[in-house]
Amino acid sequence: MSKQITNEDIKNFKKDLANHPAAKVAGRAAQENGIFKASQNLQSKIDLDPTFSIEINTGKPSDQKQSGRCWMFSALNTMRHPMQKKLKIKDFELSQNYTNFWDKFEKSNWFFENVIATADKPLGKRKVAFLFATPQQDGGQWDMLCGIIEKYGIVPKSVYPETANSNNSSALNDTLNTLLRKDGLKLRKMVNSGKSKDKVEARKNEMLNDVFRVLSISLGIPPKKFDFEYKDNDGNYHRDPDVTPKEFFDKYVGMNLSDHISTINSPTKDKPYHKVFSVEYLGNVEGGRQVRHLNLKVDEMKKLIIKQLKAGEVVWFGSNVVKDSERKAGLLDTKLYDRNELFDVDFSMSKGDMLDSGESMMDHAMVITGVDIVDGKPTKWKIENSWGVKPGFKGYFVMSDKWFDNFVYQAVINKKFLPDNLKKDYDEGVKNPIQLLPWDPMGALAFKY
Protein backbone atom coordinates (compact mmCIF):
# COMPACT_ATOMS: atom_id res chain seq x y z
CA MET A 1 0.00 0.00 0.00
CA SER A 2 1.34 3.44 -0.90
CA LYS A 3 2.20 5.99 1.78
CA GLN A 4 2.22 9.76 1.45
CA ILE A 5 4.96 12.01 2.78
CA THR A 6 3.58 13.51 6.01
CA ASN A 7 4.40 16.69 7.91
CA GLU A 8 5.84 14.45 10.61
CA ASP A 9 8.23 12.91 8.06
CA ILE A 10 9.43 16.36 7.02
CA LYS A 11 9.84 17.38 10.67
CA ASN A 12 12.08 14.34 11.21
CA PHE A 13 14.10 15.09 8.05
CA LYS A 14 14.77 18.63 9.27
CA LYS A 15 15.74 17.30 12.68
CA ASP A 16 18.21 14.89 11.07
CA LEU A 17 19.65 17.73 8.96
CA ALA A 18 20.32 19.71 12.15
CA ASN A 19 22.41 16.77 13.39
CA HIS A 20 24.84 17.32 10.50
CA PRO A 21 26.87 20.32 11.68
CA ALA A 22 28.80 20.58 8.41
CA ALA A 23 25.59 20.90 6.39
CA LYS A 24 25.44 24.69 6.78
CA VAL A 25 29.00 25.15 5.53
CA ALA A 26 28.42 22.68 2.70
CA GLY A 27 25.18 24.46 1.81
CA ARG A 28 26.85 27.86 1.54
CA ALA A 29 29.58 26.42 -0.67
CA ALA A 30 27.22 24.45 -2.94
CA GLN A 31 24.63 27.23 -3.28
CA GLU A 32 27.26 29.82 -4.17
CA ASN A 33 29.54 27.72 -6.41
CA GLY A 34 27.46 24.76 -7.56
CA ILE A 35 27.75 21.12 -6.53
CA PHE A 36 30.80 20.21 -8.60
CA LYS A 37 32.89 23.25 -7.69
CA ALA A 38 31.99 22.88 -4.03
CA SER A 39 32.99 19.21 -3.99
CA GLN A 40 36.08 19.46 -6.22
CA ASN A 41 39.17 17.65 -5.01
CA LEU A 42 42.32 19.53 -6.07
CA GLN A 43 44.46 16.47 -5.30
CA SER A 44 43.26 15.00 -8.61
CA LYS A 45 45.17 17.67 -10.52
CA ILE A 46 48.32 16.71 -8.65
CA ASP A 47 47.84 12.96 -9.09
CA LEU A 48 47.05 13.27 -12.81
CA ASP A 49 50.22 15.04 -13.87
CA PRO A 50 50.61 14.37 -17.64
CA THR A 51 53.72 12.21 -17.40
CA PHE A 52 53.67 8.66 -18.75
CA SER A 53 56.10 5.75 -18.87
CA ILE A 54 54.66 4.55 -22.21
CA GLU A 55 53.64 7.23 -24.70
CA ILE A 56 52.98 7.40 -28.45
CA ASN A 57 53.44 10.77 -30.13
CA THR A 58 50.33 11.45 -32.24
CA GLY A 59 50.49 15.18 -32.96
CA LYS A 60 47.72 17.78 -32.93
CA PRO A 61 44.23 16.57 -31.90
CA SER A 62 41.32 17.01 -34.32
CA ASP A 63 38.09 18.89 -33.58
CA GLN A 64 34.61 17.45 -34.18
CA LYS A 65 33.00 20.85 -33.44
CA GLN A 66 29.24 20.75 -32.69
CA SER A 67 28.65 17.23 -33.98
CA GLY A 68 28.35 13.79 -32.43
CA ARG A 69 31.02 12.15 -34.59
CA CYS A 70 33.54 11.33 -31.84
CA TRP A 71 33.51 7.64 -32.84
CA MET A 72 34.37 8.62 -36.40
CA PHE A 73 37.03 11.20 -35.53
CA SER A 74 38.71 8.87 -33.03
CA ALA A 75 38.70 5.91 -35.42
CA LEU A 76 40.17 7.99 -38.25
CA ASN A 77 42.76 9.32 -35.81
CA THR A 78 43.98 5.78 -35.16
CA MET A 79 44.42 5.41 -38.92
CA ARG A 80 46.10 8.76 -39.62
CA HIS A 81 48.75 8.42 -36.91
CA PRO A 82 50.82 5.70 -38.62
CA MET A 83 50.15 7.39 -41.96
CA GLN A 84 51.67 10.66 -40.71
CA LYS A 85 54.75 8.83 -39.57
CA LYS A 86 55.09 6.84 -42.79
CA LEU A 87 54.69 9.84 -45.12
CA LYS A 88 56.54 12.25 -42.80
CA ILE A 89 53.74 14.83 -42.66
CA LYS A 90 52.43 16.79 -39.67
CA ASP A 91 48.82 17.42 -38.68
CA PHE A 92 47.41 15.43 -41.59
CA GLU A 93 43.75 14.44 -41.29
CA LEU A 94 41.50 12.02 -43.10
CA SER A 95 38.12 13.36 -44.18
CA GLN A 96 35.58 12.87 -41.42
CA ASN A 97 32.97 14.50 -43.66
CA TYR A 98 33.45 11.85 -46.35
CA THR A 99 32.66 8.97 -43.98
CA ASN A 100 29.92 11.13 -42.46
CA PHE A 101 28.17 11.46 -45.86
CA TRP A 102 28.17 7.74 -46.57
CA ASP A 103 27.28 6.85 -42.99
CA LYS A 104 24.15 9.00 -43.12
CA PHE A 105 23.25 7.69 -46.55
CA GLU A 106 23.65 4.06 -45.47
CA LYS A 107 21.82 4.70 -42.17
CA SER A 108 18.86 5.99 -44.18
CA ASN A 109 18.70 2.73 -46.14
CA TRP A 110 19.20 0.80 -42.88
CA PHE A 111 16.19 2.64 -41.42
CA PHE A 112 14.02 1.98 -44.46
CA GLU A 113 14.89 -1.73 -44.45
CA ASN A 114 14.01 -2.05 -40.75
CA VAL A 115 10.78 -0.11 -41.27
CA ILE A 116 9.79 -2.53 -44.04
CA ALA A 117 10.70 -5.54 -41.87
CA THR A 118 8.55 -4.27 -38.96
CA ALA A 119 5.65 -2.88 -41.02
CA ASP A 120 3.26 -5.54 -39.68
CA LYS A 121 3.84 -4.36 -36.09
CA PRO A 122 1.92 -1.40 -34.54
CA LEU A 123 3.71 1.95 -34.32
CA GLY A 124 3.21 1.79 -30.55
CA LYS A 125 5.37 -1.31 -30.20
CA ARG A 126 8.58 -0.35 -28.39
CA LYS A 127 10.95 -1.55 -31.13
CA VAL A 128 9.02 0.26 -33.87
CA ALA A 129 8.80 3.41 -31.76
CA PHE A 130 12.54 3.11 -31.17
CA LEU A 131 13.20 3.08 -34.92
CA PHE A 132 11.09 6.18 -35.55
CA ALA A 133 12.42 8.04 -32.49
CA THR A 134 15.79 8.52 -34.18
CA PRO A 135 15.85 7.27 -37.79
CA GLN A 136 19.51 8.33 -38.04
CA GLN A 137 21.93 10.38 -35.95
CA ASP A 138 25.60 11.28 -35.69
CA GLY A 139 26.56 8.43 -33.37
CA GLY A 140 28.05 5.12 -34.35
CA GLN A 141 30.46 2.31 -33.58
CA TRP A 142 33.90 1.13 -34.71
CA ASP A 143 32.40 -1.71 -36.76
CA MET A 144 30.07 0.74 -38.47
CA LEU A 145 32.97 2.91 -39.64
CA CYS A 146 34.76 -0.21 -40.87
CA GLY A 147 31.66 -1.08 -42.89
CA ILE A 148 31.71 2.35 -44.53
CA ILE A 149 35.43 2.24 -45.35
CA GLU A 150 35.25 -1.31 -46.70
CA LYS A 151 32.52 -0.18 -49.13
CA TYR A 152 33.49 3.41 -49.94
CA GLY A 153 37.14 3.83 -48.93
CA ILE A 154 38.49 7.07 -47.48
CA VAL A 155 39.92 10.38 -48.69
CA PRO A 156 42.13 13.15 -47.24
CA LYS A 157 40.37 16.01 -45.50
CA SER A 158 41.82 18.42 -48.08
CA VAL A 159 39.89 16.63 -50.83
CA TYR A 160 36.52 16.58 -49.04
CA PRO A 161 36.57 19.19 -46.22
CA GLU A 162 34.09 19.98 -43.49
CA THR A 163 31.01 22.14 -44.18
CA ALA A 164 28.79 24.20 -41.90
CA ASN A 165 26.40 21.23 -41.71
CA SER A 166 29.05 18.69 -40.71
CA ASN A 167 30.61 21.02 -38.12
CA ASN A 168 27.20 21.74 -36.62
CA SER A 169 24.96 18.83 -37.50
CA SER A 170 21.69 19.68 -35.72
CA ALA A 171 19.93 21.23 -38.74
CA LEU A 172 20.93 18.41 -41.08
CA ASN A 173 19.85 15.75 -38.59
CA ASP A 174 16.51 17.47 -38.07
CA THR A 175 15.95 17.82 -41.83
CA LEU A 176 16.96 14.27 -42.63
CA ASN A 177 14.95 12.70 -39.80
CA THR A 178 11.81 14.59 -40.87
CA LEU A 179 12.20 13.17 -44.37
CA LEU A 180 12.93 9.65 -43.13
CA ARG A 181 9.95 9.55 -40.77
CA LYS A 182 7.62 10.81 -43.51
CA ASP A 183 8.91 8.25 -46.00
CA GLY A 184 9.01 5.50 -43.39
CA LEU A 185 5.27 5.89 -42.80
CA LYS A 186 4.67 5.68 -46.55
CA LEU A 187 6.66 2.44 -46.78
CA ARG A 188 4.68 0.93 -43.89
CA LYS A 189 1.43 1.83 -45.66
CA MET A 190 2.63 0.26 -48.93
CA VAL A 191 3.63 -2.99 -47.21
CA ASN A 192 0.41 -3.22 -45.19
CA SER A 193 -1.75 -2.50 -48.26
CA GLY A 194 -0.22 -5.50 -50.02
CA LYS A 195 2.05 -3.73 -52.53
CA SER A 196 4.58 -6.06 -54.16
CA LYS A 197 8.19 -6.19 -52.99
CA ASP A 198 9.32 -4.77 -56.31
CA LYS A 199 7.06 -1.73 -55.96
CA VAL A 200 8.15 -1.17 -52.36
CA GLU A 201 11.80 -1.44 -53.39
CA ALA A 202 11.29 0.96 -56.31
CA ARG A 203 9.64 3.50 -54.02
CA LYS A 204 12.42 3.12 -51.48
CA ASN A 205 15.00 3.90 -54.17
CA GLU A 206 13.12 7.07 -55.04
CA MET A 207 13.26 8.02 -51.37
CA LEU A 208 16.99 7.31 -51.24
CA ASN A 209 17.42 9.60 -54.23
CA ASP A 210 15.90 12.42 -52.15
CA VAL A 211 18.22 11.55 -49.26
CA PHE A 212 21.22 11.67 -51.58
CA ARG A 213 20.16 15.12 -52.80
CA VAL A 214 19.77 16.44 -49.23
CA LEU A 215 23.20 15.12 -48.25
CA SER A 216 24.90 16.37 -51.40
CA ILE A 217 23.52 19.88 -50.99
CA SER A 218 24.41 19.91 -47.27
CA LEU A 219 27.78 18.16 -47.30
CA GLY A 220 28.98 18.22 -50.92
CA ILE A 221 29.22 15.43 -53.50
CA PRO A 222 31.82 12.81 -52.49
CA PRO A 223 34.63 12.36 -55.05
CA LYS A 224 35.01 9.21 -57.14
CA LYS A 225 38.66 9.99 -57.92
CA PHE A 226 41.10 12.64 -56.78
CA ASP A 227 44.75 13.72 -56.95
CA PHE A 228 46.61 13.17 -53.68
CA GLU A 229 49.12 15.98 -53.27
CA TYR A 230 51.25 16.85 -50.25
CA LYS A 231 54.61 18.15 -49.09
CA ASP A 232 56.51 16.15 -46.49
CA ASN A 233 58.36 17.60 -43.50
CA ASP A 234 61.48 17.97 -45.64
CA GLY A 235 59.63 20.09 -48.19
CA ASN A 236 59.51 17.39 -50.86
CA TYR A 237 56.46 17.50 -53.15
CA HIS A 238 54.44 14.33 -53.81
CA ARG A 239 51.54 13.72 -56.19
CA ASP A 240 49.49 10.61 -56.86
CA PRO A 241 46.87 11.32 -59.59
CA ASP A 242 43.45 9.74 -60.20
CA VAL A 243 43.24 7.76 -56.98
CA THR A 244 39.92 6.23 -55.93
CA PRO A 245 38.94 6.37 -52.24
CA LYS A 246 39.31 2.60 -51.87
CA GLU A 247 42.71 2.66 -53.60
CA PHE A 248 43.79 5.47 -51.28
CA PHE A 249 42.85 3.48 -48.17
CA ASP A 250 44.60 0.34 -49.38
CA LYS A 251 47.74 2.19 -50.47
CA TYR A 252 48.21 4.79 -47.77
CA VAL A 253 46.32 3.57 -44.71
CA GLY A 254 46.68 -0.15 -45.33
CA MET A 255 45.00 -1.25 -42.11
CA ASN A 256 43.48 -4.72 -42.15
CA LEU A 257 40.15 -3.77 -40.59
CA SER A 258 39.07 -7.37 -40.07
CA ASP A 259 41.95 -7.79 -37.61
CA HIS A 260 40.66 -5.04 -35.31
CA ILE A 261 37.79 -6.14 -33.06
CA SER A 262 35.60 -4.53 -30.43
CA THR A 263 36.01 -5.70 -26.85
CA ILE A 264 33.71 -4.49 -24.08
CA ASN A 265 33.63 -4.59 -20.30
CA SER A 266 30.03 -4.99 -19.18
CA PRO A 267 29.88 -6.68 -15.75
CA THR A 268 26.13 -7.32 -15.87
CA LYS A 269 24.32 -10.62 -15.35
CA ASP A 270 22.96 -10.69 -18.90
CA LYS A 271 26.43 -10.61 -20.47
CA PRO A 272 28.73 -13.54 -19.60
CA TYR A 273 32.43 -12.91 -20.10
CA HIS A 274 34.15 -14.25 -23.24
CA LYS A 275 30.86 -14.24 -25.17
CA VAL A 276 30.21 -12.17 -28.32
CA PHE A 277 27.25 -9.79 -28.51
CA SER A 278 25.46 -7.76 -31.16
CA VAL A 279 22.86 -5.00 -30.75
CA GLU A 280 19.53 -5.14 -32.58
CA TYR A 281 18.96 -2.29 -35.08
CA LEU A 282 22.46 -0.87 -34.45
CA GLY A 283 24.23 -0.59 -37.77
CA ASN A 284 24.45 1.24 -41.08
CA VAL A 285 25.60 -0.79 -44.11
CA GLU A 286 23.10 -3.46 -45.18
CA GLY A 287 25.09 -6.58 -46.08
CA GLY A 288 28.26 -5.05 -44.65
CA ARG A 289 30.19 -5.42 -41.41
CA GLN A 290 27.95 -5.73 -38.37
CA VAL A 291 28.55 -4.65 -34.78
CA ARG A 292 30.17 -7.36 -32.66
CA HIS A 293 31.44 -7.07 -29.05
CA LEU A 294 33.59 -9.57 -27.10
CA ASN A 295 32.91 -9.10 -23.37
CA LEU A 296 36.05 -9.16 -21.20
CA LYS A 297 36.94 -8.55 -17.56
CA VAL A 298 38.34 -5.07 -17.05
CA ASP A 299 41.83 -6.34 -16.18
CA GLU A 300 41.87 -8.49 -19.32
CA MET A 301 41.02 -5.41 -21.38
CA LYS A 302 43.75 -3.34 -19.71
CA LYS A 303 46.42 -5.97 -20.36
CA LEU A 304 45.52 -6.08 -24.06
CA ILE A 305 45.57 -2.28 -24.33
CA ILE A 306 48.98 -2.05 -22.66
CA LYS A 307 50.30 -4.77 -24.94
CA GLN A 308 49.07 -2.83 -27.97
CA LEU A 309 50.54 0.47 -26.71
CA LYS A 310 53.92 -1.18 -26.10
CA ALA A 311 53.85 -2.32 -29.73
CA GLY A 312 53.38 1.30 -30.83
CA GLU A 313 49.66 1.11 -31.69
CA VAL A 314 47.12 3.51 -30.21
CA VAL A 315 43.74 2.26 -28.98
CA TRP A 316 40.23 3.48 -29.86
CA PHE A 317 37.95 3.23 -26.81
CA GLY A 318 34.42 4.08 -25.65
CA SER A 319 33.46 5.58 -22.30
CA ASN A 320 30.99 7.69 -20.33
CA VAL A 321 32.82 11.01 -20.59
CA VAL A 322 30.25 13.15 -18.75
CA LYS A 323 30.91 11.31 -15.49
CA ASP A 324 33.53 12.63 -13.03
CA SER A 325 35.20 14.75 -15.68
CA GLU A 326 36.57 18.27 -15.98
CA ARG A 327 36.60 19.34 -19.62
CA LYS A 328 38.62 22.53 -19.28
CA ALA A 329 41.35 20.88 -17.20
CA GLY A 330 41.24 17.66 -19.25
CA LEU A 331 40.84 15.36 -16.24
CA LEU A 332 38.89 12.11 -15.86
CA ASP A 333 38.97 10.87 -12.27
CA THR A 334 36.50 9.32 -9.81
CA LYS A 335 38.08 11.44 -7.05
CA LEU A 336 37.62 14.69 -8.96
CA TYR A 337 34.44 15.53 -7.03
CA ASP A 338 33.64 14.25 -3.53
CA ARG A 339 29.85 14.49 -3.36
CA ASN A 340 29.76 11.84 -0.61
CA GLU A 341 31.63 14.22 1.67
CA LEU A 342 29.71 17.33 0.56
CA PHE A 343 26.27 15.84 1.28
CA ASP A 344 27.23 13.11 3.76
CA VAL A 345 25.35 10.70 1.48
CA ASP A 346 26.70 7.55 -0.15
CA PHE A 347 26.37 7.88 -3.95
CA SER A 348 28.57 4.90 -4.85
CA MET A 349 27.28 2.27 -7.29
CA SER A 350 28.89 -0.73 -8.92
CA LYS A 351 29.67 -0.59 -12.64
CA GLY A 352 27.06 -3.24 -13.32
CA ASP A 353 24.38 -1.40 -11.34
CA MET A 354 25.18 1.85 -13.15
CA LEU A 355 24.67 0.12 -16.50
CA ASP A 356 21.51 -1.73 -15.47
CA SER A 357 19.85 1.37 -13.99
CA GLY A 358 20.72 3.81 -16.77
CA GLU A 359 23.08 5.77 -14.51
CA SER A 360 25.88 5.23 -17.00
CA MET A 361 26.32 4.25 -20.65
CA MET A 362 28.79 4.76 -23.49
CA ASP A 363 28.56 8.29 -24.87
CA HIS A 364 32.01 9.23 -26.18
CA ALA A 365 34.90 7.66 -28.05
CA MET A 366 38.54 8.77 -27.73
CA VAL A 367 42.02 7.33 -28.29
CA ILE A 368 44.42 5.96 -25.68
CA THR A 369 47.95 7.04 -26.62
CA GLY A 370 49.86 6.36 -23.42
CA VAL A 371 49.90 4.86 -19.93
CA ASP A 372 51.90 5.33 -16.75
CA ILE A 373 52.88 2.02 -15.18
CA VAL A 374 54.15 1.99 -11.59
CA ASP A 375 55.21 -1.24 -9.88
CA GLY A 376 53.76 -3.20 -12.79
CA LYS A 377 50.29 -1.62 -12.63
CA PRO A 378 48.70 1.22 -14.62
CA THR A 379 47.98 4.37 -12.61
CA LYS A 380 46.85 6.83 -15.31
CA TRP A 381 46.28 6.93 -19.06
CA LYS A 382 47.00 9.51 -21.78
CA ILE A 383 43.95 10.30 -23.92
CA GLU A 384 43.71 12.00 -27.30
CA ASN A 385 40.33 13.69 -27.54
CA SER A 386 38.60 15.20 -30.59
CA TRP A 387 37.51 18.51 -29.06
CA GLY A 388 40.31 20.65 -30.50
CA VAL A 389 43.41 21.94 -28.72
CA LYS A 390 41.83 24.24 -26.10
CA PRO A 391 40.63 21.70 -23.48
CA GLY A 392 43.06 19.85 -21.26
CA PHE A 393 46.71 19.61 -22.19
CA LYS A 394 46.54 21.02 -25.74
CA GLY A 395 43.63 18.70 -26.48
CA TYR A 396 44.92 15.70 -24.53
CA PHE A 397 43.26 14.41 -21.36
CA VAL A 398 44.55 12.38 -18.41
CA MET A 399 42.41 9.50 -17.13
CA SER A 400 42.92 7.84 -13.75
CA ASP A 401 43.00 4.05 -13.62
CA LYS A 402 40.02 4.04 -11.27
CA TRP A 403 38.03 6.08 -13.80
CA PHE A 404 38.94 3.40 -16.36
CA ASP A 405 37.50 0.75 -14.04
CA ASN A 406 34.21 2.61 -13.66
CA PHE A 407 33.56 4.31 -16.99
CA VAL A 408 35.53 2.65 -19.81
CA TYR A 409 33.30 0.17 -21.62
CA GLN A 410 34.88 -0.59 -24.96
CA ALA A 411 38.29 -0.90 -26.63
CA VAL A 412 39.28 -1.93 -30.15
CA ILE A 413 42.10 -4.46 -30.08
CA ASN A 414 44.22 -5.90 -32.88
CA LYS A 415 43.51 -9.63 -32.84
CA LYS A 416 47.23 -10.41 -32.94
CA PHE A 417 47.45 -9.27 -29.30
CA LEU A 418 44.72 -11.65 -28.11
CA PRO A 419 45.79 -14.91 -26.42
CA ASP A 420 44.67 -18.06 -28.19
CA ASN A 421 41.71 -18.69 -25.87
CA LEU A 422 40.21 -15.25 -26.55
CA LYS A 423 40.79 -15.58 -30.29
CA LYS A 424 38.88 -18.84 -30.17
CA ASP A 425 36.07 -17.28 -28.10
CA TYR A 426 35.73 -14.42 -30.58
CA ASP A 427 35.91 -16.53 -33.75
CA GLU A 428 33.27 -18.93 -32.40
CA GLY A 429 31.08 -16.14 -31.03
CA VAL A 430 30.84 -14.04 -34.21
CA LYS A 431 29.17 -16.96 -35.98
CA ASN A 432 26.12 -16.66 -33.73
CA PRO A 433 26.38 -13.59 -31.47
CA ILE A 434 24.00 -13.04 -28.56
CA GLN A 435 21.50 -10.38 -29.63
CA LEU A 436 21.01 -7.43 -27.28
CA LEU A 437 17.95 -5.19 -27.30
CA PRO A 438 18.18 -1.91 -29.26
CA TRP A 439 18.30 0.21 -26.08
CA ASP A 440 21.03 -1.81 -24.38
CA PRO A 441 23.75 0.44 -22.85
CA MET A 442 26.35 -1.29 -25.01
CA GLY A 443 24.94 0.40 -28.08
CA ALA A 444 21.54 2.01 -27.61
CA LEU A 445 22.38 5.37 -29.21
CA ALA A 446 26.05 4.57 -29.78
CA PHE A 447 28.28 7.64 -29.34
CA LYS A 448 27.00 11.18 -29.45
CA TYR A 449 29.53 13.66 -28.01
The predicted model gives 325-351 an average pLDDT of 94
**With 90 as the cut, is the pLDDT of residue 297 above it?**
yes
pLDDT band (50, 70, 90) for residue 448: low
The predicted model gives 305-317 an average pLDDT of 97
Q: Annotated catalytic residue: which of 260, 295, 364, 406?
A: 364
pLDDT digits (tens, 9 = 90+) for 146-179: 999 999 999 999 999 999 999 999 999 999 999 9
Q: For residue 26, how many other CB atoms are within 10 A of its CB?
A: 17
pTM of the predicted model as reported, rounded to 2 decimal places: 0.95
pLDDT band (50, 70, 90) for residue 449: low
**With 70 as the cut, is the pLDDT of residue 447 above it?**
no
pLDDT band (50, 70, 90) for residue 443: confident
Dihedral angle sign, alpha carbons of residues 189, 190, 192, 193: positive
pLDDT band (50, 70, 90) for residue 445: low
In this prediction, residue 329 carries a pLDDT of 95
Q: Is 81 a catalytic site residue?
A: no
Give the domain ranges of the chain.
Answer: 48-443
Q: Annotated catalytic residue: which of 70, 97, 100, 177?
A: 70
- For the domain spanning 48-443, the CATH number is 3.90.70.10
Contact at 8 Å (CB) between 414 and 258?
Answer: no
pLDDT band (50, 70, 90) for residue 91: confident
Residues 6 or more apart from 447 whose CB is under 8 A from it? 68, 70, 71, 139, 140, 141, 318, 362, 363, 364, 365
pLDDT digits (tens, 9 = 90+) for 53-80: 999 999 899 999 999 999 999 999 999 9
How large is the angle between the packed helices 197-219 and 170-192, nearest 10 degrees? 170
**With 80 as the cut, is the pLDDT of residue 6 above it?**
yes
Q: Is 146 a catalytic site residue?
A: no
In this prediction, residue 187 carries a pLDDT of 98
pLDDT digits (tens, 9 = 90+) for 363-398: 999 999 999 999 999 999 999 999 999 999 999 999
Q: Is 70 a catalytic site residue?
A: yes
Q: Annotated catalytic residue: which of 236, 385, 421, 432?
A: 385
Averaged pLDDT of the chain: 95
